[in-house]
């Protein structure tokens, strides 16, 4: 087969895969948007291809007649708190894994990854009984502890890689020039850590916003989060337009955060990643 023909087939194959991927991603999102805008007085049913009438009535009704405002407050109060506590706990642990050598390091590393191996429902049930045993009845604190334990391995993993990439010669040079500890951190550590910190922050925040198991088992029915509310619309009393509204409220901010992270990582220069320049 001529090379030019082979190159053309490769390009067509790549374009076909990209087109299939775009349809796979965009079509469900477009359907969610359309279902969220279906007017209650004009149902969307077969054989109509598009809704007969679009309106924001579903959004207004959900906001005014359900616990959606309180649910959003719960989720966006919980997720930043989980993120801050997780990063504060992950930083010293990640520093130890990334910069230090100590006995039992591999075993300790495996232990930090245990929450990723166990099913989230198992962890949620365990925490529910553990919190009761310790007389912790606050739903917020219970979910906070559960989310922190669940997502701490992600932050530790990301930050450990960042700490391991800090060049020791830069640290030694800064110290030899009489730099303070803060100056050493700013010159040698910060250029490498900032991308890892931002990645950890956004990933933990998004995971906390989207987590269902711990939020449901520990929080329901008193402390409702956005995923808990979404699953209630996907249960026995399936309400597709309402589920579409809550889905968009859950997904769109997270997609925007991921795009911000992607843009930030693209702007990180190679010299910053290796500590030169």
Range among 80-94, 187-201, 209-223, 253-267 with highest mean pLDDT value: 80-94
Please state whether the predicted TM-score (pTM) of the whole model is above 0.85. Answer: no
Q: Does 107 have pLDDT greater than 50?
A: yes
Q: What pLDDT does 267 receive?
A: 61
pLDDT of residue 2: 60
What is the rounded CA–CA span in Å between residue 56 and residue 80? 29
Predicted confidence (pLDDT) per residue in 69-94, tens digit: 999 999 999 999 999 999 999 999 99
Q: Is the pLDDT of residue 270 over 70?
A: no
Q: Considering the chain, what is the average pLDDT of its residues?
A: 83
Ordered DSSP codes for 134-172 = TT---HHHHHHHHHHHHHHHHHHHHHHHHHHTS-HHHHH
Q: What is the pLDDT of residues 12-66, one digit of tens each?
A: 888 888 888 778 878 888 888 888 888 888 888 778 788 888 888 889 888 988 8
In the chain, DSSP finds a helix count (H) and a strand count (E) of 14, 0
* Fold of the domain built from segment(s) 66-267: MetI-like fold (1.10.3720)
Copy the structure tokens of residue 276.
């030169």
Q: What is the rounded average pLDDT of the residues 118-129?
A: 84
Instruction: With cut-offs at 50, 70 and 90, classify the pLDDT of residue 185.
Output: confident
Sign of CA dihedral 257, 263, 266, 268: negative
Cis peptide leading into 255, omega within 30 of 0? no
What are the residues whose beta carbons fall under 8 Å from the beta carbon of 125, sequence distance 6 or more?
217
């Amino acid at each position: 087969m001529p090379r030019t023909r082979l190159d053309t087939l490769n390009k067509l194959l790549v374009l076909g895969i990209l087109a299939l991927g775009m349809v796979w991603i965009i079509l469900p999102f477009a359907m969610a948007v359309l279902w969220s805008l279906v007017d209650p007085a004009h149902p969307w049913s077969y054989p109509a291809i598009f809704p007969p009438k679009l309106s924001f009535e579903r959004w207004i009704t959900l906001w005014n007649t359900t616990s959606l405002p309180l649910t959003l407050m719960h989720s966006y109060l919980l997720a930043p708190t989980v993120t801050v506590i997780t990063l504060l706990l992950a930083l010293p642990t990640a520093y130890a894994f990334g910069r230090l050598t100590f006995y039992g390091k591999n075993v300790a590393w495996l232990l930090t990854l245990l929450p990723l191996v166990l099913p989230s429902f198992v962890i949620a049930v365990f925490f529910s009984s553990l919190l009761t045993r310790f007389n912790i009845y606050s739903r917020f604190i219970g979910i906070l502890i559960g989310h922190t334990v669940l997502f701490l391995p992600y932050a530790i993993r990301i930050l450990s890689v960042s700490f391991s990439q800090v060049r020791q010669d830069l640290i030694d040079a800064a110290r030899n020039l009489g730099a303070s500890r803060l100056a050493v951190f700013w010159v040698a550590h910060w250029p490498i850590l900032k991308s890892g910190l931002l990645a950890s922050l956004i990933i933990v925040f998004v995971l906390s916003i989207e987590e269902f198991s711990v939020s449901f088992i520990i929080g329901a029915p008193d402390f409702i989060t956005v995923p808990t509310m979404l699953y209630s619309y996907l249960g026995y009393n399936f309400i597709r337009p309402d589920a579409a509204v809550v889905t968009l409220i859950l997904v769109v901010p997270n997609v925007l955060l991921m795009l911000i992270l992607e843009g930030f990582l693209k702007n990180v220069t190679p010299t910053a990643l290796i500590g030169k320049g």
